[in-house]
Amino acid sequence: MQFAVRHLVLAVLFVGPALALTVGSSRLERIPDDAKLAEVDAKYLAAFEVVDDAFVGKHVRDARSAALGLQCWDRITALFPLSYRKLLVQFNIMSGSDPAGVFDGGGTNDVGRRGYRLSIAKSCAEKERDLANPYRAVTPRRGTTDWTLVHEIGHYVCLRGNVIELFSQSFDGDMVPQPKRREKPDDYPEDGSPRLDGNFVTSYAERTPGDEEVVETFTTYVLVDELPGPGDASLVARKIRFFDTIPGMPELRQHIRAVEDRAPRDRRTR
């Protein structure tokens, strides 16, 4: 009996990963090929048309990229309620490593519907070792897959919520005294953690005023464990706390940070 049980355990250990791959590929096969997407730029290794939570059309040039695309999308839907990504109608995995992600904010896409196009680099998706678990704890460090996914969706969230304009009026407009921005700052944490003191959350935020700084600050606001307290008067603390004043943002932060609690019971790690 023990012998049989041991073999059953071994069989599950060996067959399990293969089964996961098969499930992934059959899920991909169920998404119909879409002739419109066959015309997309060669840099897109896998392109999907999106309706709400689901991929309803695809064009796959690289099967591995398509599999990564499914996992990235699962992560996005686990982190963000539908209302915060409702008009995303195309999702791509793209070649190259810089940029790690792109949000096309002009309402342009290749599927011919009104809406936005979001692309993540294959090399970025491959950085996350636990990508297959959409309910993993968030990683609050720039350069990780999570940071890129949240940053790119952040472009959508901030654009749709008029947050870029409101942030600019408070911190980045012509009427506001500006701290000096350095072209090559080299004193941010090497592990990609954002800074919660000083003037800017990340080196990228310091180098790139406008949308990118707003979105970097948004990403910091929703991903870091602890926000700067109300007694912290540094510019960066005020920029991060600004998001607490935007309707819906505290709830969104809470929703994203509680992602582990939404895991199906058999996937929970705590």
Binding stretches for Zn ion (CB under 5 A): 212
Would you list the DSSP string of 137-154?
PP---TTSHHHHHHHHHH
| Closest residue to Zn ion, based on beta-carbon distance | 212
Least distance between Zn ion and beta carbon 56 (Å) = 26
Nearer to Zn ion, 62 or 212 (CB): 212
Short-list 225, 124, 235, CA closest to 178: 235
Output 55 or 156, the one with its CB closest to Zn ion: 156
3-state secondary structure 42-106: CCEEEEEEEECCEEEEEEECCHHHHHHHHHHHHHHHHHCCHHHCCCEEEEEEECCCCCCEEEECC
Q: Are 243 and 217 in contact (CB under 8 A)?
A: yes
Nearer to Zn ion, 74 or 212 (CB): 212
Rounded distance between C-alpha atoms, residue 18 and residue 202, angstroms: 40
- What's the closest the beta carbon of residue 103 comes to Zn ion, in angstroms? 7
Nearer to Zn ion, 212 or 232 (CB): 212
Return the closest-CA partner of residue 225 out of 263, 196, 192: 196
Q: How deeply is 155 buried, as exposed, middle or buried, from its count of CB atoms within 10 A (0-12, 13-18, 19+)?
A: buried
Nearer to Zn ion, 104 or 212 (CB): 212
- 259 sits in the region (left: phi over 0; alpha: psi -120 to 50; else beta) called alpha
To the nearest whole angstrom, how small is the minimum distance from the Cβ of residue 212 to Zn ion? 5
For the CB of residue 55, give the shortest distance to Zn ion in the complex, in Å: 23
Q: Please, which residue, 126 or 212, has the CB nearer to Zn ion?
A: 212
Smallest distance, Zn ion to C-beta of residue 154, A: 8
Three-class DSSP category at 33:
strand
Q: How far is the CB of 260 from Zn ion (least distance, A)?
A: 26
